[in-house]
Amino acid sequence: MTETPSSDVLIRVQPTPNPNAWKFILDRPVLLEGKATYSTPDEAFGNRLALDLLNVDSVKQVHFFQNVITITARFDADPDAVQESCVSVIQTRMPVHNPAMGQKESKVAKRGELSPEMQKIEEILDRTIRPGLQGDGGDLEVVRFEENKLYVTYQGACGTCPSATSGTLMAIEGILRDEFNPEIEVIPL
């Protein structure tokens, strides 16, 4: 773990299980609620911090959650160079960043509109799976549930992590089979 203090922003850089992703833990919120994942400049429109991080050479994805920014880079990137550039961007942009803007998701508030099955699945994932993924700088989004198949996407560090498509996927499916339906199938998109 590396600590990088500046006059205004304290940033700790930590590795994740994904060798191409790092967590930048800040001493202040990046988002006040929800989470946001950006993979293109168009997705980051209106969020200068996310846009500038995406413009760092080799950065493929930026994920905001609470006081953490997870950066995922190309597999051939120089980790030290990416981390140094990202720290510089965060230090210069955080003082003017508004953690209340740029939120792409606040699905917890919309869960009342979901089917009872989807509400139960989300509750199980919130309790059992998401805390671990979020601790590793990632997350999981449920895309849809149909014909006993749950379609999900990984976010942040989990998006390109080799273990997400094997061990993590089997764990998600196992927990949902135990607590929801023994016939459910989980399919990553």
Mean residue pLDDT of the chain comes to: 86
Q: Which domains does the chain have, with CATH numbers?
A: 2-96 (3.30.1370.70), 107-188 (3.30.300.130)
pLDDT tens, position by position, 138-172: 788 899 999 999 999 888 777 777 676 677 888 89
pTM, rounded to two decimals: 0.74
pLDDT tens, position by position, 65-92: 999 999 999 999 999 999 999 999 999 9
Cα(34)–Cα(111) distance, integer angstroms:
13
Q: Is 114 exposed, middle or buried (0-12, 13-18, 19+ CB in 10 A)?
A: middle
Centroid of chain to Cα 53: 15
- Are 58 and 72 in contact, with CB atoms under 8 Å apart? no
- Are 72 and 138 in contact, with CB atoms under 8 Å apart? no
Cα(90)–Cα(26) distance, integer angstroms:
9
**Beta strands at 10-15 and 59-65: parallel, antiparallel or unpaired:** unpaired
Cα(183)–Cα(164) distance, integer angstroms:
21
Phi and psi at residue 103, to the nearest 5°: -75, 120
Cα(162)–Cα(150) distance, integer angstroms:
20
- List alpha helices for 45-78, DSSP H: 48-54
Q: What is the pLDDT of residue 106?
A: 46
pLDDT tens, position by position, 88-102: 999 999 999 999 874
- Secondary structure letter of residue 189 according to DSSP: -
Starting at the edge strand found earlier in the chain, the sheet holding 185-188 runs: 138-146, 149-156, 185-188
Cα(133)–Cα(65) distance, integer angstroms:
11
- Above 70 in pLDDT, residue 3? no
Highest mean pLDDT among 10-19, 31-40, 159-168: 10-19
Q: What is the pLDDT of residue 7?
A: 55
Cα(27)–Cα(49) distance, integer angstroms:
16
